[in-house]
Structure 1
Amino acid sequence: MLSKGLDPAAVYPAVTVTRAVLGASSADPGRVAVVDAASGHSVTYADLVAMVEIAASGLVREGIGPGDVVGLHLPDGPEFAVALHAVIAAGAVPFPVDEAFLVDAAGACAVITPPGRFDGAARTLEIDGLLTGEPGGMSLPDADPDRDAALLARTRGPGRTVRLTHAEVVAGLVRVADAGMIGGGDTVLSALPFSDVLGLNGVLNPALRLGATVVGLGGHDLLRAMRDHRATVVVLPPRLVKALARDRAVSRYDLRRLRAVVVAGGPLAAEDARAAAARLGCPVRQAYGLAEAAGFTHLNLRAAEEGTLDSVGRGLPGVMWHIVHPRSGAAQPSYQPGELCLRLPVARTADVPVRWLPTGDSAFADDHGRVFVLGRVTGT
């Protein structure tokens, strides 16, 4: 089966990632942009924009510029968002990691991290040290969205990375921002780490583009964070959704503002989604994506209405997909499992300019073009 997203002719803005994310931040500059649930530290949109500009100038003063890879080993909170977009604004390539040893393996020239968290070969920078100047203190480089890298992202498997251009990252975040998963008035709690592309470009960047508030869970208690920050949308891996579905403590927390749970990072059985929806009193929707696609490619916003709680949906605008036999490459008919392959409007790799991207994931599609992810293809 071959299928296309709802708008296969989707057009994305030809701008840098930081411009796409923060370009409209002046609409409500006093609104809280990013919160660290563990520490409670937060920044407003006005603060975030100013801090990104100052930190970017600080990076340029440190000799960091176009093409340099800079590791990010930071908590899921304001410091991460500032560092991410400061590195991009300086023309360099951020490489978010959850384990410090990956920084040297990627050939990074520096890493932005709290004191004492890194002892590798790359130069260590602290976000506070980059924030000592004034906005506009240095001339920042221009980037070519179609050619210049904006993100070095980890893919599945040890040591695997992919360089994504500004155009690819912008397409990924705009797909989600335009999908209706998040609105500008939402408070979005993410248990997906920002060091993962799905957390970074499936949650953080789209939510900031829309003017929402993003709460990074980090190691904080999930139910307490949902209550204390009055979350309206939470994005969780399947294991946490399963835990909530069976946790009687849910009833002791005021979660009345919660309007949706989005599940990403693996398949969730329909019975688990149904149990979680009943326990939490809101829809549970599945999403699918991967690093090479710069975020989400599928999101099932009509799961409850269509009775497809275990489906990731039909594909977001601009996404083409098909399911093939994993050995022969022949197209699989409806309801026959095979490997899910994607084609994106700006998809590109170092190997081939435009091609079908094998995901390594086993899936099947029904007669209505809805995709059901089963797990990894054997041997991947």
Structure 2
Amino acid sequence: MMFTSPFPDVEIPEVSVFDMLFTDIDQTDLDRIALIDAADGTRTTYRELIGRVNATAGALAARGVGVGDVVGLLAPNSSLFAVAFHGILRAGATATTVNALFTAQDIAKQLTDARATMLITVSALLPQAEEAARSVGITPGRLIVLDGEGENATGHPNADDLLAQGTPAPQVSFDPATHLAVLPYSSGTTGNPKGVMLTHRNLVANMAQIRPLLGMRSDDNMLAVLPFFHIYGMTVLLNAALQARATLVVMPRFELAAFLDTIQEHRITYNFIAPPVAVALAKHPLVDEYDLSSLHTILSGAAPLDAELGNAVAERLGVRVLQGYGMSELSPVSHVMPLDGGQAHFGEVAPLSSCGWPVPNTLNKIVDPVTGQDVAYPTAGLSEPGELWVKGPNVMTGYLGNAEATAGTIDSDGFLHTGDLAQVDRIGRVFIVDRLKELIKYKGYQVPPAELEALLLTHPDISDSAVVGVADDDGEEIPKAFVVRRAGTDLTADEVIEFVAGRVAPYKKVRRVEFIDVIPKSASGKILRKDLRTSTA
């Protein structure tokens, strides 16, 4: 059975991302602070941001960049990233944002697949950017180093060169419903990374869908540590927070002491994180050394947040903790808890074991992955688990140059098959069980790794964990836990196995344990299980 969002549909303007964000800005907002670079305290007002975006767009247009062109953007978070990103879109080009941790080979692969003709980066990443640019035929003059010394000194233009050019922003014309704004890369529900084709309408729609639910305000100070090159940081912070006229305090990377210090110094009020940050906030002793009383809300996304962990953060910090769900292919937010947790609409707050309700203007299904039949909507309790399907204006147009993968992800009715197992309750709250492809099949039983990981994190001597399926001596798939001990403890494998066994059904027991120093994770906070499987092969 299909189910819809309980929240009213919203109007989705037929405009570009730039126009959605800046065209109708109130004069009283122009001198608000839009961006603060935490590293050096540099402040950028909305007036300055808009001026620099327009100047960058003009300089790019003078270099032949426009509608139909793709520009690579390889940089950590900064105000320079924000200007370059929106400058690319303002020029009518498409931005393919590149993971700042990529090697030269990874960068070149993405630039080639996206057919990028220009690359924008920063000096810290210049060696790998230059190597990648050479390999794909991007000339030095089309490799822009935002914080570099300038074209005369290095052969590469910098941000000042672009701004000094003084070329007005071009007059561009395109259909927001079909013109690609961004090409982030995602592994999707399976396979190698693919270019996710997101139009201006996709991004505008998602801003409109989440605006009434997240309740961002112009007096919010928000910490932008989620990478802008990832769709979560791109939509929720670089777009939606700016649309709300909030102030973004920008950090180039997560480091706990600097993170806590920034919250304290800049009186951060509303924070978006991924679950690894929640682990630190719940367990690390350093947290107690900082004044975090300005925070009113933390919202976690990018990977499932365990309810007990989230509640521990809420209790320790005295804040509201919420959860959302999405994926690059959904621009990315498809489900979220509203700012009040659902109290006003339903008279009760959503439990943190859920990811909230579908966002407005969407249809949802939960489908049995074996039979292909819709799972029945429950009158009480939770539905049976099945794959979550989503349809709405935030669904990507497809994977770049990969019709087969697109057809395998978006069906003929327009539903995107997320690859995640989910359940729904009687009032439409969705509960993510695990990735369909990550389920461990032990003697015919399904074991969700996320459930075991959440349980392991409740152990006082465990600071982080991950669970994958491995083959035992008989070829049977079994759960194996990778565990990071809390410093100063001597937890044993037998103690871990015993701890889990006493709290789960017999078929869910952890049967092997390996202690490691750190759990490998992506920039967005997802556990890189493939790396763990490789280490055990």
The TM tier, using the shorter chain, reads over 0.9
Alignment of 1:194-233 (within 5 A): 194-219=228-253, 220=255, 221-233=258-270
**In the alignment, what sits opposite 1:188?**
222
Offset at residue 323 of structure 1 (A): 1.0
Alignment of 1:319-334 (within 5 A): 319-333=362-376, 334=378
C-alpha contact (below 8 Å) 1:172/1:295 kept by paired residues: yes
Q: Which moved more, 1:295-304 or 1:110-119?
A: 295-304
**In the alignment, what sits opposite 1:6?**
6
Deviation string for 1:220-239 (max 9, x for gaps)?
Answer: 42211211221101111011
C-alpha contact (below 8 Å) 2:367/2:388 kept by paired residues: yes
C-alpha contact (below 8 Å) 1:69/1:108 kept by paired residues: yes
- The CA distance in 2 between the partners of 1:274 and 1:46, in whole Å, is 40
**In the alignment, what sits opposite 1:91?**
92
Alignment of 1:231-380 (within 5 A): 231-301=268-338, 302=341, 305-306=348-349, 308-333=351-376, 334=378, 335=382, 336-345=384-393, 347-350=395-398, 355-378=414-437
C-alpha contact (below 8 Å) 1:113/1:126 kept by paired residues: yes
**In the alignment, what sits opposite 2:16?**
16
- The CA distance in 2 between the partners of 1:348 and 1:28, in whole Å, is 32
1:149 aligns with 2:180: yes
- The CA distance in 1 between the partners of 2:80 and 2:313, in whole Å, is 32
| 2:120 aligns with one of 112, 122, 126 | 112
- The CA distance in 1 between the partners of 2:333 and 2:265, in whole Å, is 28
Q: TM-score, normalised by structure 2?
A: 0.67
Q: Which moved more, 1:180-189 or 1:86-95?
A: 180-189
AA matched with 2:424: A
| 1:130 aligns with one of 162, 165, 171 | 162
| 1:139 aligns with one of 155, 166, 170 | 170
C-alpha contact (below 8 Å) 1:110/1:124 kept by paired residues: yes
AA matched with 1:269: D
- The CA distance in 2 between the partners of 1:40 and 1:104, in whole Å, is 36
Look up the SS of the partner of 1:306 in the other structure: coil
Offset at residue 297 of structure 1 (A): 1.4
AA matched with 2:117: C
What percent of counterpart residues are identical? Answer: 32
Q: Which moved more, 1:187-196 or 1:113-122?
A: 113-122
C-alpha contact (below 8 Å) 1:149/1:165 kept by paired residues: yes
Q: Cα–Cα, structure 1 residues 105 and 375, in superposed 2: closer, same or farther, change >3 Å? A: same
**In the alignment, what sits opposite 2:44?**
43
C-alpha contact (below 8 Å) 1:193/1:216 kept by paired residues: no
C-alpha contact (below 8 Å) 2:387/2:436 kept by paired residues: yes
- The CA distance in 2 between the partners of 1:97 and 1:237, in whole Å, is 19
C-alpha contact (below 8 Å) 1:303/1:311 kept by paired residues: no
**In the alignment, what sits opposite 2:34?**
33
Q: Which moved more, 1:114-123 or 1:81-90?
A: 114-123
- The CA distance in 1 between the partners of 2:240 and 2:208, in whole Å, is 7
- The CA distance in 2 between the partners of 1:77 and 1:42, in whole Å, is 11
| Root-mean-square deviation over aligned CA pairs | 2.1
AA matched with 1:32: I
- The CA distance in 1 between the partners of 2:119 and 2:171, in whole Å, is 20
C-alpha contact (below 8 Å) 2:121/2:145 kept by paired residues: yes
Q: Cα–Cα, structure 1 residues 152 and 27, in superposed 2: closer, same or farther, change >3 Å? A: farther
Deviation string for 1:84-105 (max 9, x for gaps)?
Answer: 1111111100011112343334
- The CA distance in 2 between the partners of 1:360 and 1:191, in whole Å, is 27
- The CA distance in 1 between the partners of 2:200 and 2:413, in whole Å, is 16
- The CA distance in 2 between the partners of 1:274 and 1:358, in whole Å, is 30
AA matched with 2:11: V
C-alpha contact (below 8 Å) 1:15/1:167 kept by paired residues: yes
Q: Cα–Cα, structure 1 residues 199 and 292, in superposed 2: closer, same or farther, change >3 Å? A: same
Count of matched residue positions in the alignment of Structure 1 and Structure 2? 379
The structure in which a higher percent of residues are helix is 2
Moved over 4 A (4+): 351-354
Look up the SS of the partner of 1:378 in the other structure: helix
- The CA distance in 2 between the partners of 1:324 and 1:27, in whole Å, is 49
**In the alignment, what sits opposite 2:495?**
none
- The CA distance in 1 between the partners of 2:370 and 2:248, in whole Å, is 42
Offset at residue 9 of structure 1 (A): 3.7
- The CA distance in 2 between the partners of 1:153 and 1:180, in whole Å, is 23
Offset at residue 379 of structure 1 (A): 5.8
C-alpha contact (below 8 Å) 2:311/2:352 kept by paired residues: yes
- The CA distance in 1 between the partners of 2:168 and 2:422, in whole Å, is 51
Unaligned runs of 5+ in 2: 147-158, 399-405, 440-537
Offset at residue 218 of structure 1 (A): 2.3
Q: Cα–Cα, structure 1 residues 250 and 329, in superposed 2: closer, same or farther, change >3 Å? A: same
Offset at residue 364 of structure 1 (A): 0.9
Offset at residue 303 of structure 1 (A): 6.6
- The CA distance in 1 between the partners of 2:413 and 2:366, in whole Å, is 18
Offset at residue 79 of structure 1 (A): 0.9
Q: Cα–Cα, structure 1 residues 38 and 80, in superposed 2: closer, same or farther, change >3 Å? A: same
